[in-house]
Structure 1
Amino acid sequence: MKKQVIIALALFVSVFTFAQKKEVKALEKAVKKDNFAEAKTIATQLDSQVSAMDDDLKEDYYLAAAKAYYANGTSTNADTNKAIENILKVEGEGAEFKRIIENDLLTKANNFYSSKKFNKAAETFNMMYQVNPEAQDYLYYTAVSYIGAQNFDKALESYLELDKLGYTGEKTMFVATNKETGQVDSFNSKSERDIYVKSGTHTDPETQNTESRASEITKNIALIYINKGEKDKALAAIEKAKQANPDDVNLLINEANIYFEMGDEKKFQSILQEAIQKEPNNADLHYNVGVIYMNNKEIEKARQSFEKVLSLKPANADAALNLSTSYLEEGNALVEQMNSLGNSRADDLKYEELKKKKSSLFDQAAQTLVDFKNNNTSVPTSVLQQLKNIYNALGEVEKAKAINAEIEGK
């Protein structure tokens, strides 16, 4: 009896295997005829039976299913992903179809990117990376495309994976100048390039090394964390980026801005001072430091910063306004002292002294804006308005009227 059961079971398995082979053949036939709708239906039906197939039949199924889902490149992203999932399970014969998918997706990704369809480009580059995980450049272009699409969460995922992989993107390029076109051509290897040079079609052979992308990746990770408001992670990423790029002033500026947002003005100021030491002619750095000095009532230091800005960028209206305001604020502080004085002879003398000093400060505030006006053909209304107000405060009515006429004439 046991023997009969074993024979019956063996017969059932044999019949079942034969039926599977028949279905796989039907799948391959549908693919060959480009009948991809039918092929996908068969592939879906067979999917639950794959575990019972022998290794050779599995290979045939996975390859045919991959072709069915890919549908000669006309498939949706969902079906393309299914095609990739299947082709990755195929050994030998699958290599050629992998190359077909990879090359086809590369053309699509480049076209999407060129036409600024960045989200589609990113999805396509990412599929290429799934097909060929050794080509980590695809993951880099995935991240870059997501940045273009303003999809920072997805970009961050790709950048973090690149950072984990230790990706640098550094390459050695073998190049030579094409005699006919004058353009520099790149070759797959030194030996290939040397053949062209020896044949006389190319000259000036060179070996070039591309720059590492590691610092760019770390920097972008930090910037995305800043954008997301995750300040601690941003600071950690910036610290790592600074180690790789100790002279990158932009990293210091981003770090300083984070501390400013956290309300730590002292740290903000000290980092900007460090940045100024690296780029002493960076007007924006001097301006930001000046603003902090103004907020801290360090008027003389603020003036030095704004004067430096104007020496570097004479058209910076904000620096001129702030420099003028520094004199006004100092003058207005004297008014408070003047109002607190009594009626004694000594107080009267002190009052006149302070009044004279206040007028002198207001004169300097006005002169700052006059100098700006003389040095620039285009003067913002905000500068003219402040100058008019100063003249009114000084009692110089005619000058105030003249400035007002300029404002109304704009």
Structure 2
Amino acid sequence: MKTRILTAVLALFTVVSFAQKKEIKRAGKAVEKGEYQEAKDYLNQAEAQLANADEDEKAEFYLYKGYALIGNGENVPAADLMAASEAMQKAKELGHAEAQQGATAVSNALVNSAIADQNAEKYGQAAEKLNSAYRMNTQDTLYLYYAASNAVNGQDYDSALKYYEELQDLGFTGEEVIYTAVNKETGEEERMASKEQRDLFVKAGTYINPQEKKSESRKGEIAKNIALIYIEKGEKDKAIAAMETAKKENPNDAGLMQAEADMYYKMGDMKKYRETIEKVVEQNPNDAILYYNLGVSSAELGEHERAIEYYKRAIELDPEMSNARINIAFVILSKEQPLVEEMNKLGMSKADQKKYDELAKERQEIYKEALPHLQKVIAKDPTNIEAARTIMNIHYQLNQNEEAEAMKAKIAEMEASTAAPTNGQ
């Protein structure tokens, strides 16, 4: 009796195994024809007995499952993409010869879908898909970098931190050689997919002026983001420690110095921020933005004269920097407040009246000092309504009513030009 039962089971197993193998083959043919739903049906039938299949059959099953799930790559549900990723990974682990090609197809589908998610501000989904794309081919470390960026945008700081720290462990810099050439028809420089493609187009005569450029390192940005994430999590000591570790490896990296300065700014430590920015300036003495930032930190520290000097240096390097001119004016005008407070405390005695007049005159000198900086802003940017309003108020304070009314009219024109059109217009 026992022997018969065992024989019957073995016979049944043989039949099921044979049927299972046939369903997997049918699924493969359906995939080749692009009949993906049919392939899924065959695979569903085979999956029930998959545990009894040999490794080659399992490898084929997972390969075809991956292809069937991504189909033609268009409008694939997120769940199917992730399942396809897992299936192709299993096919690779089982040693299927075509698994790498299949993994590339799934990876491309994941990346394309992640781009769509990113554009739709679905940052969490984008991060998950890009991370999966990276796991399918760990040579594509840029996918992990962009996964981290999307995780930050989605405020998933734990995932972002994990990805960034993994990138640091890998020694990722993000540096790459960019191949470009100028399109003869449009006259615009275009980026090429590879050196071979660029050289081919240049040889064909449709492109000229081939160039090779090296992109900037992302190490500083990654270190900064790790530190900022720790700050966001309320772990300032870890933020500083993370930055110190990064600096030991790259002591002269200007990008890291800038990242450290950003970290202190985020912490509200203006003194350390300025100290760090000054080190960055030593390496980049012609960077107008650095001087502008030094002006901001000095102003916040109450060091008004130093702030004005930094802003003036920024303007020397970049005469178009209107914000620096505006900030100079505001730093100058900030001197008014203590004068007003002192004037309000004075009484009606002759001595107090004399002091009041002196302070009023000093106040007018402040207005006169600030005015030219704002006028230069308007000269370069006639639509700057905030500068225009401040100029108008200064004219009124200086009893220059004609100039004030003229600026008032100009402001009205600005507001009218930016107002939304009414119905019927």
Same fold (TM over 0.5): yes
The structure-2 alpha-carbon separation of the partners of 1:5 and 1:133, relative to structure 1 and needing over 3 Å to count, comes to: farther
1:250 aligns with 2:258: yes
Question: Which residue in 1 is equivalent to 2:171?
Answer: 166
1:287–1:306 Cα contact (<8 Å) kept: no
Provide, for residues 352-393 of structure 1, a one-character-per-residue CA deviation record: whole Å limited to 9, x for no partner.
76446424421321211333355343442034324523x3xx
Q: Residue by residue, what CA displacement relative to the aligned partner does 1:112-153 show, whole Å, maximum 9, x if unpaired?
A: 648945757655543432322343333234335556xx3242
- Residue 385 of structure 1 corresponds to which residue in structure 2? 393
For residue 305 of structure 1, what is the aligned residue in structure 2? Answer: 307
CA 66–112 in structure 1, closer or farther in 2 if over 3 Å, else same: closer
Q: Is the 8 A contact 1:87 1:94 kept in 2?
A: no
Aligned to 2:267: 259
Alignment of 1:100-111 (within 5 A): 100-103=102-105, 105-106=107-108, 109=111
Give the corresponding residue for 1:151.
154
Q: Relative to 1, partners in 2 of residues 1:55 and 1:13: Cα closer, same or farther, differing over 3 Å?
A: farther
Partner of 2:422: none
Q: Give the SS at the match of 2:173.
A: coil
In structure 1, the residue matched to 2:405 is 405
Amino acid at match of 1:102: T
Find 1:213's aligned residue among 211, 218, 225: 218
In the alignment, which residue of structure 2 is the partner of 1:98?
Answer: 100
Q: Does 1:32 align with 2:39?
A: no
Distance 1:307 1:331 in 2: 25
- Which residue number in structure 2 is paired with residue 289 of structure 1? 298
Please report how far the alpha carbon of residue 66 of structure 1 lies from its aligned counterpart in structure 2 after TM superposition: 3.4
Alignment of 1:346-365 (within 5 A): 351=352, 354-355=355-356, 357-365=358-366
SS of structure 2 residue aligned to 1:33: helix
* Aligned amino acid, residue 151 of structure 1: G
8 Å CA contact 1:168–1:213 kept in 2: the answer is: yes
Aligned AA (2:406): E
The equivalent residue for 2:371 is 370
Q: In structure 2, which of residues 10, 23, 27 is the aligned counterpart of residue 13 of structure 1?
A: 10
Alpha-carbon separation, structure 2, partners of 1:247 and 1:187? 29
Q: What is the CA–CA distance in structure 2 between the aligned matches of 1:204 and 1:366, rounded to whole Å?
A: 54
AA partner of residue 12 (structure 1): V
Structure 1 residues 270 and 213: CA distance shift in structure 2, 3 A: closer
Displacement, 1:69?
A: 3.3
Change (3 A) 1:15 1:63: farther
Q: 1:126: which partner in 2?
A: 131
The 3-state SS of whatever aligns with 1:94 is coil
Q: Deviation digits for residues 268-299 of structure 1, max 9, x if unmatched?
A: 56556656666675123213312321xxxxxx
Instruction: Give ranges in structure 1 of 5+ residues lacking alignment.
Output: 195-202, 294-300, 392-398
Contact 1:170/1:209, CA 8 A, preserved across alignment: yes
Q: Kindly provide the CA deviation profile for residues 187-208 of structure 1, in whole angstroms up to 9, marking residues without a partner as x.
A: 689xxx99xxxxxxxx999998
Question: Contact between 1:142 and 1:158, CA under 8 Å: does it hold in 2?
Answer: yes
- Contact 1:113–1:145 (8 Å) recurs in 2: no
Map of 2:331 onto structure 1:
322
Q: Which has the larger radius of gyration?
A: 1
Find the aligned partners of 2:210 and 2:393 in 1 and give their Cα distance: 64
For residues 161-183 of structure 1, what are the alpha-carbon distances to aligned partners after superposition, in whole Å with 9 as ceiling and x for unaligned? Answer: 3234333345679x8999x9999
Query: 1: distance between equivalents of 2:219 and 2:277?
Result: 25
> Deviations for 1:29-79, whole angstroms, at most 9, x for unmatched residues?
144134543543453454453333333443343334334434454653322
Which residue pairs with 2:204 in the alignment? none
Give percent identity, aligned residues only. Answer: 23
- 1:183-262 to 2 correspondence within 5 Å? 211-225=216-230, 231-243=236-248, 244=250, 246-248=253-255, 250-260=258-268
What is the TM-score with the length of structure 2 in the denominator? 0.67
1:251 deviates by 1.9
Give distance in 2, aligned partners of 1:117 and 1:401: 52
Pick closer, same or farther for the CA change 1:144–1:10 going to 2, 3 Å: farther
**TM-score of the two chains, using structure 1 as the length reference:** 0.69
Question: Shift in Å at residue 99 of structure 1?
Answer: 1.0
Return the match for 2:145 from 140, 145, 169.
Answer: 140
Per-residue deviation, 1:19: 0.7
d(CA) in 1 for partners of 2:6, 2:334? 97
Work out whether 1:65 is the aligned partner of 2:59: no
Post-superposition shift, 1:253? Answer: 3.7
Contact 1:122–1:145 (CA<8 Å) still a contact in 2? yes
What one-letter code is carried by the residue in structure 2 that aligns with 1:82? Answer: A
> What is residue 418 of structure 2 aligned with on the other side?
none
SS at match of 1:380: helix
Distance 1:83 1:67 in 2: 7
Question: SS where residue 133 of structure 1 aligns?
Answer: coil
Contact kept, 8 Å, 1:59 with 1:90, in 2: the verdict is yes
Aligned to 1:52: 52
2: distance between equivalents of 1:211 and 1:279? 15
| Closer, same or farther: CA 188–11 of 1 in aligned 2, 3 Å | farther
Partner SS state of residue 90, structure 1: helix
Identify unmatched segments of 5+ residues in structure 2.
200-207, 316-320, 412-425
Q: Is the 1:23–1:42 contact (alpha carbons within 8 Å) kept by the matching residues of 2?
A: no
Counterpart AA for 1:370? L
- Report the residue type matching 1:53 in the other structure: A
Matched residue pairs, number? 376
CA 374–27 in structure 1, closer or farther in 2 if over 3 Å, else same: closer
Displacement, 1:16? Answer: 1.4
